[in-house]
Amino acid sequence: DAGITQSPRHKVTETGTPVTLRCHQTENHRYMYWYRQDPGHGLRLIHYSYGVKDTDKGEVSDGYSVSRSKTEDFLLTLESATSSQTSVYFCAISARTGHANTGELFFGEGSRLTVL
């Protein structure tokens, strides 16, 4: 199994508080992704990174920021959480070695966030 871990796995927070989710990989892959999954919407891309300090927005990036200061860590931050950000968040990395950005993704176990 590819080495990818997410933390925390579960979090309950209140509206207006900041939240940071962490994704850690041990595969040295260049590309990392954050998706959210909601009933009726499937998986939607929030942000992705194609290298240290190199990130780009996905289709649902509003209200989220990311940072990647090291190859192995990709952080997703909700500056001021809202109830609409209650979701399951998945981090993913490419399943291929090297620098390929491919659709063969390996997903972390997910982080379930509840914003009250």
Chain residues that interact with other proteins, rule: CB under 8 A:
33, 35, 40-45, 48, 58, 90, 95, 101-110
Cα 31 from chain centre: 12
CB of 52 to other proteins, least distance (A): 18
Number of helices and strands (H, E) in the chain? Answer: 0, 11
Closer Cβ to other proteins, 10 or 53, answer by number: 10
Residue pair 47/61 in contact by the 8 Å Cβ criterion:
yes
Q: Tell me the closest approach of the beta carbon of residue 93 to other proteins, in angstroms.
A: 12
Q: Which is nearer to other proteins, 48 or 74 (CB)?
A: 48
Residue 80 phi, psi dihedral angles, 5° rounding: -150, 95
Least distance from C-beta 83 to other proteins, angstroms? 22
Closer residue to other proteins (CB): 9 or 70: 9
Residue 33: CB atoms within 10 A of its CB come to: 23
